[in-house]
Amino acid sequence: MTADTLALGVTWYAAFLLSLTCHEAAHALAAKWGGDPTAYHGGQVSLNPLPHMRREWLGMLVIPLITYASSGFMMGWASAPYDPNWQRRYPRRAAWMALAGPAANFALVLLAAAAIRAGLAAGVFTAPGWAGFAQLVVAGTPSAAALGAFLSILFSLNLLLGVFNLLPIPPLDGNTGAGVLLGERAALRFAELSQNPTFALLGILAAWQVFGRISGPVFRTGLALLYP
């Protein structure tokens, strides 16, 4: 592994850690607002990644590093605790809690896009001849290049994370989140599907198949919006 690959890995991990931390903190905060303080008492309503890493050290530390070393792309997971009894009593509140995570990802997409556009306007960045996941801008100095890589990964990663988690397939956030459009009974049924281990396993397999087909168009659409 070269020095450039290691340096890019550090940038990748910084963007990855920020993305998952914001996603789970948003879940935890929405749950607290909805009447479930479980994640709040667990320290999850925080942008400090350590409480989240202590809860899911495998998904936030080990697996991301292994997948980057093997493929150049980081994968992993995180979670925020909640009270199942609260979810059964208030399935629509739980649906809003589920949607808060992807909403945080899209907020990071907008922040990254704004920073990229500001850098372009200031002459710190220029548009690349070709765009990749980690190269949405070109910069003339090493420090500006590192910032450009971080913003590029932050934009691309959160765009895909947000869309992936909105798929209405258990156990993804979009399945529980669909409850905001449904009545209480149907919302509860959707939430229960996300908790069923069999449906969850089948859902993950199906979600990867679906996302493999739409990730390219999603990325190209985001790129077209960044560079209209």
pLDDT at 165 over 90: yes
* pLDDT tier at 168, thresholds 50, 70, 90: confident
Domain boundaries, the chain: 3-226
Q: What is the mean pLDDT of residues 157-166?
A: 95
Backbone angles phi, psi at 135, to 5 degrees: -140, 85
CA atoms of 45 and 31, how far apart (whole Å): 10
Q: What is the mean pLDDT of residues 118-140?
A: 94
pLDDT of residue 199: 65
CA gyration radius for the chain? 18
* pLDDT tier at 209, thresholds 50, 70, 90: confident
pLDDT of residue 187: 74
Helix/strand/coil (H, E, C) string of 83-141? CHHHHHHCHHHHHHHHHHHHHHHHHHHHHHHHHHHHHHHHCCEECCCCCECCECCEECC
More confident residue, 66 or 191: 66
In terms of Cα–Cα distance, which of 122, 176, 166 is closest to 147?
A: 122
> Quick one: what percent of the chain has pLDDT higher than 70?
97
